[in-house]
Amino acid sequence: MFDPVIEVLVLAAVALIVLSRLYMALGRGGNDRPVQRPSASQTPRDVAPADLAERRQRREQAERPIFTGPAAGGLEDIYNADNSFSAAGFMQGAKAAYQMIVAAFARGDRDTLRPLLDDDVYEAWDEAITAREASGEKAFELLRIKRAEIDSAELDGSMARIMIRYEAELGDGELTRTAKEVWTFMRDVTASDPNWILDDVEAAN
């Protein structure tokens, strides 16, 4: 038979091990609760949509363009109606359009002008080309754009209009002159066609 003293020591050692494991698992005094694993109903998937919406909103606010100057209100209205609108991108297109239209007018190229101009502008320029061809007058060609900037902008219903102030140097091979004009480009922001057309031309100071 076992020695009673040894048996007591063995039981005491076993009890000490069990108590030490309970202490580590439950914490001192038994007041700390074990960490609970989230249930299936508490997975991140259920809270992700709200979190993603908040992140998307912060990203949109960070990416939203800031418009300045006298045309800021109109440009912001246009952007609100069409989030793909970019003032910088528009200005690049407006400069390219000015070069293309002035060059086509100088050549008398009606086919190029027709899709770029509103009906009233096209009719007026078509008559000017006809008169120039009849008189044999030389056409002034674009030498360089000296200035191009947004003068004003507005949104009338779904129709966006942006007025660009141009200052350009023109020449006919003998004479040169400075043209100062305000061109109005328009586009229906609900249309699938992204192109702007020339709606009006006025002399500027």
Q: At a CB cut-off of 8 Å and minimum separation 6, what does 182 contact?
A: 151, 163, 164, 165, 166, 201, 202, 203, 204
Query: What pLDDT was estimated at residue 92?
Result: 96
Residue 189 has pLDDT above 70, yes or no: yes
With respect to CATH, is domain 72-203 assigned 3.10.450.240? yes
Of the pLDDT bands very low, low, confident and very high (cuts 50, 70, 90), residue 26 is very low
Range from 33-42, 51-60, 129-138, 191-200 carrying the lowest mean pLDDT: 33-42
Query: What pLDDT was estimated at residue 183?
Result: 98
* Each residue's pLDDT tens digit, 147-162: 999 999 999 999 999 9
Indicate the pTM of the whole model: 0.70
Of the pLDDT bands very low, low, confident and very high (cuts 50, 70, 90), residue 112 is very high
Cβ distance 179 to 166 under 8 Å? yes
Characterize the bridge pairing of strands 159-171 and 176-188: antiparallel
The per-residue DSSP string of 89-125 comes to HHHHHHHHHHHHHHHHHHHT-HHHHGGGB-HHHHHHH
* Each residue's pLDDT tens digit, 72-91: 999 999 999 999 999 999 99
Query: What pLDDT was estimated at residue 179?
Result: 97
User: What mean pLDDT do residues 3-20 have?
Assistant: 54
* Each residue's pLDDT tens digit, 42-81: 544 555 666 677 776 666 555 789 999 999 999 999 999 9
Cβ distance 105 to 130 under 8 Å? no
Which residue, among 168, 171, 172, 170, has the nearest Cα to 181 in the 3D structure? Answer: 168
Cβ distance 140 to 106 under 8 Å? yes
Query: What pLDDT was estimated at residue 61?
Result: 57
